[in-house]
Amino acid sequence: MKSPAITLLCIAGLLAACTTPVSLTTTSNEHYDACNAAELKGQLGEAELACVQALRTAEKAGASAEILSQRQYNLGRIKRLQGKNTEAEALYRQALATEESAEPRSDARVGRRLVELASALSAQGKWQEGSGYLERALPLLPKLSPASRTYSAEVLRQYAKQLQGGPQAALGQRFAAVAAGLP
């Protein structure tokens, strides 16, 4: 018969093994996959829960800046799709800051986060603030995937239309020209 102290030590060891960075990273990846699957099915509430868990477990695991940025970005995207633009804005800001501090830094990911942040800001009527982020994204747009360039062109067109006739009309014209040139 085992002594209670040995049994408790075994249980404590098993619990510690369940919370190692490797197991937390695996769990984060599983939640990440569940988030994407739920989003594809249009189940945004379920996707939000899975994305929150993916981010939390990645943080607990001490994941790389690249992984944290992706988790923040994905949750922000789900929040934007749900119309929770203030929450999306905060997550995009986090994802952008995380990505900009990453080694190595990915210009494509920085560009996408800038465009998404501009999109979340426009949904809140913060066109002037968003235009600064969108302008920062311009030199990075060629590095984006074709799908991301298509999305970026749409955001640029929205900003161009909004900025017509105002103090930022020249910037709006520039956005329209860049949008027209994106494949």
Q: Which residue carries 């105002």 as its tokens?
A: 166
pLDDT at 21: 58
Range 65-81 average pLDDT: 95
Q: Where are the domains of the chain?
A: 20-84, 106-183
pLDDT at 47: 95
What pTM did the predictor assign? Answer: 0.84
Within 10 angstroms of residue 69's Cβ, the number of other Cβ atoms is 25
Which CATH number is 106-183's, of 3.40.720, 3.30.450, 1.25.40, 1.10.3470? 1.25.40
Angle between helical axes of 127-137 and 107-122 (0-180°, round to 10): 160
Mean pLDDT value across the chain: 89
Task: Name the pLDDT band for 103 (thresholds 50, 70, 90).
Answer: confident
Query: Would the pLDDT of 182 be above 70?
Result: yes
Nearby residues of 47 by Cβ (< 8 Å), 6 or more positions away: 35, 36, 38, 39, 78
pLDDT at 22: 63
- Structure token digits, residue 122: 């426009």
The H or E element spanning position 16 is helix 4-18
Query: Would the pLDDT of 97 be above 80?
Result: yes
For residue 21, the Cα-to-chain-centroid distance in whole angstroms is: 22
Which CATH number is 20-84's, of 3.40.1000, 2.20.130, 1.20.58, 2.40.30? 1.20.58
pLDDT, tens only, 31-44:
999 999 999 999 99
Rounded CA-CA distance 180/118 in Å is 18
pLDDT at 4: 52
More confident residue, 20 or 88: 88
Range 120-139 average pLDDT: 97
